[in-house]
Amino acid sequence: MDVVVVADAEAVGRRAAAMVLDGLRGDPSLVLGVATGSSPVSTYRALAEARRRGTDFSQVRCVALDEYVGIPEADPRSYHAFVRREIAEPLGVRADHLLVPDGNAPDPEAACASFEVALHDWGGVGIQLLGIGRNGHVGFNEPGSALDSRTRRSALSETTRADNARFFPRPEDVPAYCLTQGVGTIAEARSIVLVASGPHKAAAVAAAVQGPVTEACPASFLQRHPDATMVLDPEAAAELAGQPTSESSRAR
């Protein structure tokens, strides 16, 4: 895994966006795996800036990692809404080029199976953008998720519900369940770029990069991925042993 440390959260976004734009130059119909949450917002902003300078995203297809169970798609807090607002509209990605798990499906198991089929039919993810939870989760694969897990209905941990309470009026309004790509599903992306910034991510980043590969820290699967890069600000990199002082370094 490569670890790149840059000046701040905006620079994290610019660096991750540069990696996406590189991929897009080689494949205009790139399948881009997109994370929601705060971490990748600076990346989406940098991609939108590239669009203003002429980059064409009209053939790009976007695949989300996860969705809450029981939040209507039109609700601004749904990940459907996030993908439309933060990614599809600013980049000009077509509505029929978006794939997001259906958190309101009457049969969640069937919805997860058809999500996997649709992803397969698109040829899988070319570049996957990831964030990381304070507890080492990726997508909504909480600690204990099998490293070969597939898209499924899952429970959110109390840590994650507390972290995401900032988006809801009351802590008890945070959904308890989600549909999420599995760690095994995410691991099939050909290239993965995880972005993290801030001191609250430092312990999870260190565990993912330098701890054992274990279900206790789902992001640790990245150590086994053939093309994974973490782009960090100095605070998120702070607990890495022998942390790089230069801008870029190879962790393993």
As annotated, the active-site residues are 66, 135, 137, 142
Nearest partner of 167 among 99, 35, 75, 88, judged by Cα:
75
Contact call for residue 157 and ligand F6R (CB under 6 A) = no
DSSP H or E stretch at residue 153: strand 152-155
Contact call for residue 191 and ligand F6R (CB under 6 A) = no
Q: How far is the CB of 141 from ligand F6R (least distance, A)?
A: 8
Non-local CB neighbours of 133 within 8 Å, separated by 6+ positions: 142, 159, 160, 163, 204
Which residues in the 48-67 window bind ligand F6R by CB under 6 A?
A: 65-66
For ligand F6R, the closer of residues 219 and 240 by Cβ is: 219
Residue 108's DSSP bridge partners are none
Contact call for residue 38 and ligand F6R (CB under 6 A) = yes
Instruction: Locate 131 and state its tokens.
Output: 């964030």
Tell me how long the chain is: 252
For ligand F6R, the closer of residues 63 and 240 by Cβ is: 63
Q: How far is the CB of 114 from ligand F6R (least distance, A)?
A: 19
Q: How far is the CB of 101 from ligand F6R (least distance, A)?
A: 10
How far is it, in rounded angstroms, from Cα 208 to Cα 223?
A: 8
Contact residues for ligand F6R, defined by CB under 6 A: 35-39, 65-66, 131-133, 137-140
